[in-house]
Amino acid sequence: MLLDTPICDFGWKAPDFTLADPDGRSYRMSEHLGGKGLLIAFICNHCPYVKAIADRLVEDVKVLQAEGINVLAVMSNDYVDVPADAPPNMKRFAEQHGFTFPYLVDEDQSVGRSYNAVCTPDFFGLNSDGELQYRGRLDDARMGEASDRTPELLNAMRQIAETGTGPETQTPSMGCSIKWSR
């Protein structure tokens, strides 16, 4: 089911969490905030919208990381119901696309629920205080098209790093609904 993300709730304080990657290494959100903020991307392996943007996301993330902005990706889907999103497949997906950021398993879906994540991809741009400043899309390119795109997420995260606040105008992200457990 195709869903859009809600409008950004500027200043919403992001809850801290600790999640592990498919290899069992733990990552605590608050330890990755950094002085220039943090991007949290709710993604999964099987969603056609995520597949369509994965390489562009990695491209933009490399730029953000080079500029001192940290990134975490979270997979909140119920992978018992959707085996394509199981941790071994997450690891393959990350390797296939050259992820330079941790891809974390939200096994009990508590992080996805606490963030009110609704779809994949769902991007949360936080300032250095952990306050939400961006909840929009990666760019304005159509699924699979990368030419002549406006890198909305990249520009928003740069603005957050510089000023602590995100752009007033944001275009909601859209994607497949998160697959909640029954």
- Residue-level pLDDT at 4: 75
- The DSSP line for 7-40 is PP-TTPBPPP-EEE-TTS-EEEGGGG-TTT-EEE
Please report, in tens digits, the pLDDT of each residue of the chain (182 residues total).
677 788 899 999 999 999 999 999 999 999 999 999 999 999 999 999 999 999 999 999 999 999 999 999 999 999 999 999 999 999 999 999 999 999 999 999 999 999 999 999 999 999 999 999 999 999 976 555 556 678 999 999 999 999 999 999 999 999 999 999 97
The amino acid occupying position 16 is D
Measured between alpha carbons, how far is 49 from 28 in angstroms, rounded to an integer? 27
Q: What is the pLDDT of residue 140?
A: 79
Q: Which domains does the chain have, with CATH numbers?
A: 2-177 (3.40.30.10)
pLDDT for residue 5: 82
Give the predicted TM-score (pTM) of the model. 0.95
**105 and 75 in contact (C-beta within 8 Å)?**
yes
Angle at 109 between CA 32 and CA 36, to 5 degrees: 20
Between strands 132-134 and 174-177, the pairing is unpaired
